[in-house]
Structures are given as C-alpha cells and as structure tokens.
Structure 1
Amino acid sequence: MKPRSLMFTLYGEYIQNYGGEIWIGSLIRMMSHFGISESSIRGAVLRMVQQDLLTARKIGNRSYYQLTSQGKRRIKDGVTRVYSLFNKKWDGYWRIFTYSIPETKRELRNQIRKELAWTGFGLISHSTWASPNPVEKQVMEMVKNYQLEDYTILFRANSIVSHDDMAIIHKGWDLQEISRKYDEFIRRYEEKFEELKERAWNQSLTDEEAFVERTILVHEYRKFLFLDPGFPVDLLPENWSGFKARKLFFHVHQLLSVSAIRCFETIFEPAPDCQYVPERDKAINPFIGMV
C-alpha cells in the first residue's frame, strides 16, 4: 500500500466519523499494521499538507491532522461511491466535458485527467470526456478549485447525433477489462469470506486482524473507483460482475466491522480540545442512509 492512498482509506473509513482529526502518533500506529515505516508516513503527510489535502495544528509537542476542504471533497465523493447502491436509473443525459489548457498551465493536465477519471468520466476523443452520471456539481467544483473557468466547457445533452449510447460507452470504457477485475476480486474474497466466517464463529479472529482485513478490503475495493464509472443500471450488462462483487464486499465488510472499530478505538487519539460525538453506528455500517 502507498502511504497517501492508505491515509485516504483510513480517513474515509474511520477518522471522519470520530471528529476528523488525529494525532500523528495514532496515525503512525495504525499504518504500522500495514508495514509502512514512520519516515514514509511523515513524508506522505508533509506532501499532503503541501498539496492542500491535510492541515496541521500543534498542541504542546504533538501534531494533529485533519483534511482540508479539498481533501474532504475527495473523501466524500469516494465514500459515496463505495457505499451507495446500484439502483439508479439513467436520466438520459450525457455530460460532456472539454478543455483546452494552455502550455503555461500544462502541469494541470495530468491532474485534471486523474480528477475526471476519478469522477467516472471516460475519454471519448482528444480532450473530450463523457459521463452518463449527474456529476455537474463535482465537475464545477473542480473547475473552480483549479481556476479553469476560461479553459473548460461542460455540456449536458440528451442525444449524440454521430453515435448511439453503447458506441459512446465502448469508446470511453473497457467494460470487459473492468468485469475481469471484478471477477478477480470475487475469486479472492469468496474464499477469504469463508475463512473469516469460520474464524469469527470459533472466536479466533482478533480485533486487530479484523481491523487490518477490513481496511485492506476497502482499500482494494476503492481501486474500482478509478476503473468503474458507476454507470446507471440500465446501461450495464444484465449479469454485470460488479453486482456480485458489491454484494460480496458488503458481506465481508459487515462481518469484520464491529471488531475492526473496537481495534480502531484503542489506537485513535484525538486532540485534547476536540469536542465531537463519535458516529460509531455510521463507522460500523457506512451503508446506512446510502441510496
């Protein structure tokens, strides 16, 4: 696991439900369970502060970190997509995003591409991206954040004259490859689910192991956010592997959740002046309230 990616998982899965701020010592203890060194963690934290994803404050000789508004936006988008259900119907509109970023801002191009892929867009031609999802708000927040108003255009259209809908999908996404990745996830976690159920039943699964397994599960499933655009159900194949993978993800997640949260609570240490009410039920079952 890369330190930055793991930190996003920890903040989205646990820390945001406990006030959103954590002592660096607690973060180091958590991440040590995944073989990441203290120096790597501190380096990643520093880079995330420099990238305006984390903000720090000192109390005595201790440093506490919480997400910035930009970091919170990334976490919110990711958590919503991970835990929402496959039950939305297509509204019939394509969102088409085009950009022409000048050479003076060329360093932004790769970042914009990553942001668009994360949001579920597919590249259908040079500098032209499409999505069937209602992502107008997220896109306009991105444009505002990077001050790209003069270089971008976002369209919404209910028909494309030159191609039918499936042709656009095949231009922008490789559904066969995405399905293959889901099948790999299913093969891995079907076997692991049976093993974890047996260990939970005979009470040999420790809280620490549950914390590690749940975190790895979410970390692995989060990778699909960069692959799967989260199409409405009526644009997906009937036997889409993502449906089965999601159901399996839910069952493994819930099997581990209570024990994993117990372990997290023994490690987590907020700032002494932090006043918060832990959202423990939400931490145990993030699927609550998702649609």
Structure 2
Amino acid sequence: MSSATECVSALIDDFQQRRPIRAGSLIITVYGDAIVPRGGTVWLGSLSKLVEPIGINERLVRTSVYRLTRETWLQGEKVGRRSYYSLSGPGRRRFEQAFKRVYHGVQAPWSGQWTLVLLSQLDSSRRQKVRDELEWLGFGHFAPGLLAHPMLGRSEAMAALQELGAADEAIVLQTEALEPLASKPLRLQVRESWNLDELAEHYQRFLTLFRPLWKALNEENHLDEEACFIARTLLIHEYRRVQLRDPQLPDELLPTAWEGRNAHQLCRNIYRMIYRRAESWLDRHLETAEGPLPAPGPSFYRRFGGLD
C-alpha cells in the first residue's frame, strides 16, 4: 500500500499531466479555500511559493494572476516594489456562489415544488444563451424551451433572467407539491434532464483519485505541513470542479446509491484530518503588506458541518 506522502505525489502528478494546466482555476481554489478566510489579500511572492510544489512556476502565476485581474476575479495593489492581490467585488460574489456548494452541510428538505422557466417567447439565438446560463445555475432541460429546478426558487430564476435582460420575455412558474413527490417517471426524467450518469462518472473519478489518500492517512497520519496544504488544495480543487457540474438536486430525486454523497463524505473526512497542519503551513508562509495573514475567521470552522 502507498504511504500518504506517495499518494500526495501521485495527486500532484495527476494535476501536472493534464493539458492545458489550469493554473488560474487552481489559484482561485487557493484564494477560496485558504486566503479568503484570512482576510483575502496576499503578497504575490508568497502565493507563488504556495503553488510552486504543485507544478506552477512564478511566471505562470504572474500570467494567471494578470488574466484573473483582467477577468475581474482579482484586484491588485502595489506597496513599494511588492504587489498584493485580493478578490475583487465581482470575484467575491462569484467565489461565494461557486464555493458555498463545496463546504455545505445537510441539504434542506425538499418541499416538492418546482420552478419552471418557459423560454418559448425568446428568439432562438437569445434563447440558447439564456438556456446555457440557467443550466449553469443547475436548471435541467425538461422539454424544448422549458427548464426546471426543484430547489432554486422563483426569485433566483428572476434574478438570473434580469441580469440577462430576458425577464420580460421569459415565463416563470412555481408548481404545487403533489404526492408522490418523486414518482418513477419523474425520477427517469430527472436522470435524463441532468445527465446524472455522466455526473456520477465525474464523482467516481474523484473517489478513485482520493480514496488511496484516505486509506493511507488512516494507516499512518504523518503527512508534513506542506504536504497537508498541497493535499487539501488539490482535494478542494478537484471536488469544486465536480460540484460546478452538480445541480444540487434533493435526495428524493437522486439514485439510492448516489456517488455524490460518498464524494462529499470522503472530501469532508480528509479535510477534517489534515486542515490543522495545512493552516500551520499557511501561518508561516503567507504575507500581507502588514505582515503574516490573520488567523481564519469563525466561518472557516463551520465548513463541512464543523471542523473542531
């Protein structure tokens, strides 16, 4: 059996072998997971040192940070000869939307209602754009021009439509709950509309990637602080990538043996086991213009239902 250190090396290799290397996406993971809970601003030099062992050199960090700034994810500030970067206003909003799924606890019970969005009154080119955006939010395609979601409410659908300038042309409806909440034809429709089989494959890949580390940590939990930080970063990075595809459907509509539940449990268990040593590494290696980064705020310790 591989040691925990060998498992972390294998995770680094897996990340480096993908082309192109998504350095910008990994940097957003580092900000969301490690930097935002500690005030949100960091010196570019200490960010480079953090991600270098994962295979992202200083030049690639600078290029990626420049691109993220141009895309309004990050904003920079010069203090003397040093540059410090934090999430911008739009970047923070996008971060909150993307990361709230990652650390969530138990999902709220489903009311049995559905939010329906009918796009038949939009012209075909705009309809496709609105449909793509609603699907990114987690809506499923039920029929031509008809999208649905069991958990997102009418207000969330209207906010998205207003942002797209389509609120006056789309029809948004809310259904009543009927018994049974999850009939067999409805469950088959859900499986088809959200392509749950493909999503299950992505979760299965995550499980295959990280189960050896969990096994090794249970055998000998001796990972050093830097390896814990790398493992935690890649864990959240990979889990976040799958979560962005997950429409967050209620349990009643999901298969009984759903890989997403197992993936959340595995991610939570590994995170809880290694986060303290990763935080110790961050204490010593992250700098703001005022010195070391502050300690994480209270919300950090509420991740995954509680870290303490």
TM over 0.5: yes
Q: Does 1:155 find its partner at 2:176?
A: no
Contact 2:105 2:305 in 1 (8 A): no
CA distance in 1: counterparts of 2:280 and 2:295, whole angstroms: 13
- The residue aligned with 2:40 is 20
Say if 1:30 and 1:94 are closer, same or farther in 2 by CA, change over 3 A: same
Residue of 133, 137, 151 corresponding to 1:133? 151
- The residue aligned with 1:190 is 211
Give the SS at the match of 1:83.
coil
Residue of 52, 55, 70 corresponding to 1:32? 52
Say if 1:116 and 1:65 are closer, same or farther in 2 by CA, change over 3 A: farther
CA distance in 2: counterparts of 1:273 and 1:214, whole angstroms: 24
Contact 1:89 1:234 in 2 (8 A): no
- The residue aligned with 2:134 is 116
CA distance in 1: counterparts of 2:285 and 2:91, whole angstroms: 23
CA distance in 1: counterparts of 2:36 and 2:285, whole angstroms: 15
The count of residues paired between Structure 1 and Structure 2 equals 280
Q: Structure 1, unaligned stretches of length 5 or more?
A: none
**CA RMSD in angstroms, aligned pairs only:** 3.2
Q: Specify the code of the residue in structure 1 equivalent to 2:187.
A: M
Q: Specify the code of the residue in structure 1 equivalent to 2:235.
A: L
Say if 1:252 and 1:137 are closer, same or farther in 2 by CA, change over 3 A: farther
CA distance in 2: counterparts of 1:27 and 1:175, whole angstroms: 37
- The residue aligned with 1:286 is 303
- The residue aligned with 1:180 is 201
TM-score, length-normalised on structure 2? Answer: 0.77
Deviates more, 1:73-82 or 1:265-274: 265-274
**Aligned residues: percent identity?**
28
Contact 1:101 1:151 in 2 (8 A): no
Q: Does 1:77 find its partner at 2:97?
A: yes
Provide, for residues 189-244 of structure 1, a one-character-per-residue CA deviation record: whole Å limited to 9, x for no partner. Answer: 222212123342xx3x1100010011111111112223321111111122212222
Provide, for residues 146-192 of structure 1, a one-character-per-residue CA deviation record: whole Å limited to 9, x for no partner. Answer: 555456554333379xx953354134212222223323322332222
User: Alpha-carbon deviation of 1:285?
Assistant: 5.6
Q: Specify the code of the residue in structure 2 equivalent to 1:258.
A: R
Map 1:35-46 to 2 at 5 A.
35-46=55-66
Q: Specify the code of the residue in structure 2 equivalent to 1:120.
A: G
